[in-house]
Amino acid sequence: MNITHEPDAHRYVLSDGDEFLGEVEYQIQGTTLLLLRAEVPLDKRGQGLGIPLTRGTLEAIREEGVYSVTPICPYIAKYMMKNPEFDDVKA
């Protein structure tokens, strides 16, 4: 599974080869990314894809080193509370 940043679409995408597995949409506010929603297609839900989608997105943002994040999406906010190793990317 791979995370790809699609800046023109304001999203990070989780895929496996050509198969779309989910996305995190964001809005840019200055030097902060507002993480609006994490979504997995209906037919892929319940397979545990939210974790690699969220973790991969946060790791990609950290590696890019340009933005901090504010989670608006409740799933991402909860994930970040449970995983303090991502405190360094919080706005």
Name residues whose C-beta falls within 8 Å of residue 58's C-beta, 6 or more positions apart in sequence. 69, 80, 86, 89
Task: Quote the pTM value.
Answer: 0.95
Tell me how far apart the alpha carbons of residues 91 and 17 are, in angstroms, rounded to a whole number.
32
- Structure token pair of residue 6: 């699609």
Question: Where would I find the H helices in the chain?
Answer: 50-64, 74-82
pLDDT at 17: 95
What count of other Cβ atoms lies within 10 Å of the Cβ of residue 89? 18
Question: Mind listing the pLDDT tens digit of every residue in the chain (91 residues)?
Answer: 999 999 999 999 999 999 999 999 999 999 999 999 999 999 999 999 999 999 999 999 999 999 999 999 999 999 999 999 999 999 9
pLDDT at 16: 97
The DSSP bridge partners found for residue 70 are 34
pLDDT tens track for 43-64 = 999 999 999 999 999 999 999 9
pLDDT at 19: 97
